[in-house]
Structure 1
Amino acid sequence: MPVYCVSYDLTKLGQNYASLHDELKSSNAWWHHLGTTWLVHTAEAADQLSARLRKTLHDDDSLLVIKVTRDYAGWLPKKAWEWIEQQL
C-alpha cells in the first residue's frame, strides 16, 4: 500500500479541522507532526484519497496529495523516520 503526503490550507479563519482530521485518521495508518501535513498509509489511489478528503473541505480550501517514495529527506523526530521506514 502506498503512503501519501497530505497537505491542506483551510482559508476561513477559525475553521473546524475535526471532520478532516477524523477522515484522515480513518485511513489504515497515519502520522501527523507538522501542522497541516499528514502522512497517510492507504490502499486508495491519490485521486480517491483526495476525493474522500475533499468532502470535508470548503470550495476555497486547498488540498495536496502526493505519493511518498524512498527518496526523502528532512529534519524530523526519530519516531517519524521509524514510522516512514515501517510503512514504506
Structure 2
Amino acid sequence: MATKLIAYDLNSPGQNYDELIEAIKDLGAWWHHLDSTWLVKSTLTCTAIRDALGRHIDSGDELLVVDVTEDARAWKGFSASGSKWLKETWD
C-alpha cells in the first residue's frame, strides 16, 4: 500500500467540500492537518484517485495527487498526534 499526497484548491465561491472530503476519507487511512492537503494510504494509483475525486470538483478547481511512499519525508510544527500518525503510518 502506498502513501499518496492529495492537495486541492476549490476556486469557485460557495464550494461544498463535504462530498470531496468523504471521498478522500473513503480511500483508506488518512491524515489531514493542513487545510487542503491530505495524506492517504491506498492501493489505488494516482490516476485512479484523480479520477475518483475529480467527480467531486468543478472544472475551475485544481487537484494534485502524488505518490510520496519513498523516503522523502520531513515535517515541523505539527501536533503530537499529527506527528505520531506520520511516524507510524507513512511506512
**Shared fold by TM > 0.5?**
yes
Matches within 5 A, 1:1-88: 1-68=1-68, 69-75=70-76, 76-87=78-89, 88=91
Say which is worse superposed, 26-35 or 78-87, in terms of deviation.
78-87
Percent identity (aligned): 32
Q: Tell me how far apart the structure 2 counterparts of residues 34 and 85 of structure 1 sit (CA, whole Å).
A: 17
SS in 2 for 1:66: strand
Q: Tell me how far apart the structure 2 counterparts of residues 30 and 85 of structure 1 sit (CA, whole Å).
A: 13
Q: Tell me how far apart the structure 2 counterparts of residues 2 and 81 of structure 1 sit (CA, whole Å).
A: 18
Letter in 2 for 1:4: K
Q: Runs ≥4 in structure 1, deviation > 6 angstroms?
A: none
- When the two structures are aligned, how many residues end up with a matched partner? 88
Gaps of 5+ in 1: none
Please report the TM-score for the alignment, with normalisation by the length of structure 1.
Answer: 0.91
Please report the TM-score for the alignment, with normalisation by the length of structure 2.
Answer: 0.88
Letter in 2 for 1:85: K
